[in-house]
């Protein structure tokens, strides 16, 4: 599985990882920590479901939440940067979106998810339009976040 290969790559490169999750609700951290020895590279994670947690724990600016909303590339970027800073990691992944089955709007439909990767130099954000069940969308979002990390590390996902 991808998380095993990523773990080996992170460990051999001496890199650390953190996560900030909203729509995946801890699934991403669970997948990372399923790998034996993940404590060598995984610093921890924050499940920030509520906007005030995004703001007060991860440091997402209130202006970002007010202007763009929690489901936005701007929020995903700020969540990843916040997790990296808060947990003292080299790299951080973030997920935010609408897993479903409810909660969507015409502008932000069910299945709209943003995943982000923060490094020392940049933040990459990817938009997803998922069409599965709640569980399927959560899994696909976690898989896409891991794939974004794999791309950064020069792996084929």
| 64 assigned to some structural domain | yes
What is the helix, strand, coil percentage profile of the chain, to 5?
A: 45, 20, 35
Calpha distance 15→23 (Å, rounded):
25
The enclosing domain of 31 has a CATH number of 3.90.950.20
Give the three-class secondary structure for 117.
strand
pLDDT of residue 141: 98
pTM above 0.95, yes or no: yes
**Half-sphere exposure in the Cβ direction for 24 (13 Å, CA):** 30
CA angle 48, 16, 126 (to 5 degrees): 55
| 157 assigned to some structural domain | no
pLDDT of residue 1: 87
pLDDT at 90 over 60: yes
User: What is the mean predicted confidence (pLDDT) over 101-113?
Assistant: 96
14 alpha-carbon distance from chain centroid:
20
pLDDT of residue 156: 64
Comparing 1 with 10, which gets the higher pLDDT?
A: 10
Q: What is the pLDDT of residues 122-136, one digit of tens each?
A: 999 999 999 999 999
Residues 6 or more apart whose CB falls under 8 angstroms from that of 52 comprise none
User: What is the mean predicted confidence (pLDDT) over 53-61?
Assistant: 98
pLDDT of residue 40: 98
Q: What percent of the chain has pLDDT over 70?
A: 99
Q: What percent of the chain has pLDDT over 90?
A: 97
Q: What is the pLDDT of residues 146-156, one digit of tens each?
A: 999 999 999 86
- Enclosing domain of residue 76: 2-152
pLDDT of residue 125: 98
pLDDT at 157 over 80: no
| 127 assigned to some structural domain | yes
User: What is the mean predicted confidence (pLDDT) over 59-80?
Assistant: 98
Question: Residue 20 has which token pair?
Answer: 């900030």
Q: How many domains does the chain have?
A: 1
């Amino acid at each position: 599985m991808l998380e095993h290969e990523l773990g080996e790559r992170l460990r051999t490169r001496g890199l650390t990882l953190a996560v900030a999750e909203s729509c995946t609700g801890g699934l991403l951290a669970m997948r990372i920590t399923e790998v034996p020895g993940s404590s060598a590279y995984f610093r921890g994670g924050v499940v920030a479901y509520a906007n005030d947690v995004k703001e007060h724990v991860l440091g997402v600016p209130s202006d970002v939440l007010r202007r763009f909303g929690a489901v936005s590339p701007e929020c995903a970027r700020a969540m990843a940067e916040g997790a990296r800073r808060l947990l003292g990691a080299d790299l951080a992944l973030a997920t935010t979106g609408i897993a479903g089955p409810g909660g969507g709007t015409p502008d932000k439909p069910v299945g709209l998810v943003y995943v982000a990767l923060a490094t020392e130099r940049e933040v990459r954000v990817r938009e997803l339009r998922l069409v599965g069940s709640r569980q399927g969308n959560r899994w696909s979002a976690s898989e896409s976040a891991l794939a974004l990390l794999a791309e950064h590390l020069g792996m084929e996902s």
